């Protein structure tokens, strides 16, 4: 019998964690409870509404663009607010959108140390956490999600899922044995309270995370 690999073990643990937690609370073991209970309270909100609510709870910023003109105006507004000299982006399609919005764009690694803002795509948006799921196999790689002071994420409504478990199952279905080497759940801007219990933003990553949800990419 083939032993499960590390990835399969991790996915199995995530899938069954809610079941184990609920079983422990109720004193139930084995298969007495067939369906795992949700870790987070079930929401009746639309996925985009729940995502916005949860993202804003963790100090993230949500932008809904109902037209391409609205999307370009939002990007221009962010440029005016932060006054970046340029936006770093390695995704060709997203670079064209930035250019259409009148923003200077760079994908040259020699300029990366100067980067104040980056625009990336993502794999999934998690409604119950307000989180963004990214991975190392994307055009943006690993660095763009963590280095710039401002991280902008552009996604479509069809990238919204309710739970992290659902997103990971979809990734397993899509990639099979070729899962990316790093999968990251970004929960808002970087923050820590390690120093004198004072909240500091951007200590280990972006100070601000902006998610732009649109069908008009």
Query: In angstroms, what CA-CA distances link 137 with 90, 127, 134, 198?
Result: 12, 23, 9, 35
**3-class SS at 126?**
strand
Asked whether the beta carbons of 180 and 50 are under 8 A apart, the reply is no
Query: Out of 3.40.1280.10, 3.30.420.10, 3.40.640.10, 3.40.50.10420, which CATH number does the structure's domain 41-214 have?
Result: 3.40.50.10420
Query: How far is 192 from 189, CA to CA, in rounded Å?
Result: 10
Per-residue pLDDT for 32 more than 50?
no
Half-sphere exposure of 22 (CA within 13 A, CB side): 15
Share of the chain above pLDDT 70, in %: 74
Domain ranges of the chain: 1-37, 41-214
**3-class SS at 154?**
strand
Per-residue pLDDT for 17 more than 60?
no
Cα–chain center distance at 145: 9
Asked whether the beta carbons of 124 and 173 are under 8 A apart, the reply is no
Q: Which of 16-20, 104-108, 143-147, 195-199 has the lowest mean pLDDT?
A: 16-20
- Sheet containing 117-120, strands listed edge to edge, beginning at the edge strand earlier in sequence: 61-65, 208-214, 150-155, 117-120, 87-88, 105-106
Q: How many Cβ atoms sit within 10 Å of the Cβ of residue 151?
A: 27
Write down the pLDDT at residue 16. 62
Query: How far is 37 from 151, CA to CA, in rounded Å?
Result: 33
135 or 76, which is more confident: 76
Instruction: Number of helices (H) and strands (E) in the chain: give both, helices first.
Output: 5, 12
Per-residue pLDDT for 93 more than 50?
yes
Burial-class residue 34 by CB neighbours within 10 Å (0-12, 13-18, 19+).
exposed
Write down the pLDDT at residue 24. 45
């Amino acid at each position: 019998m083939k032993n499960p690999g590390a990835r399969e073990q991790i996915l199995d643990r995530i899938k069954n964690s809610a079941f184990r937690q609920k079983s422990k609370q109720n004193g139930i073991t084995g298969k007495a409870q067939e369906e795992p209970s949700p870790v987070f309270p079930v929401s009746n909100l639309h996925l985009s509404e729940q995502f916005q609510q949860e993202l804003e709870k963790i100090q993230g910023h949500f932008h809904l663009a109902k037209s391409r003109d609205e999307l370009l105006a939002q990007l221009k507004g962010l440029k005016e607010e932060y006054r970046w000299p340029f936006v770093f982006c390695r995704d060709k399609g997203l670079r064209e959108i930035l250019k259409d919005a009148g923003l200077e764009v760079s994908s040259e690694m020699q300029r990366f140390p100067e980067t104040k803002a980056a625009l990336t795509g993502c794999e999934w948006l998690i409604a119950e956490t307000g989180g963004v799921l990214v991975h190392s196999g994307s055009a943006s790689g690993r660095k763009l999600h963590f280095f710039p002071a401002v991280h902008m994420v552009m996604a479509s409504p069809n990238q919204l899922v309710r739970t992290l478990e659902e997103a990971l199952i979809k990734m397993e279905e899509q990639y099979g044995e070729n899962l990316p080497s790093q999968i990251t759940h970004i929960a808002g801007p970087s923050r820590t309270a390690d120093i004198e219990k004072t909240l500091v933003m951007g200590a280990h990553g972006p100070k601000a995370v902006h998610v732009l949800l649109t069908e008009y990419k």
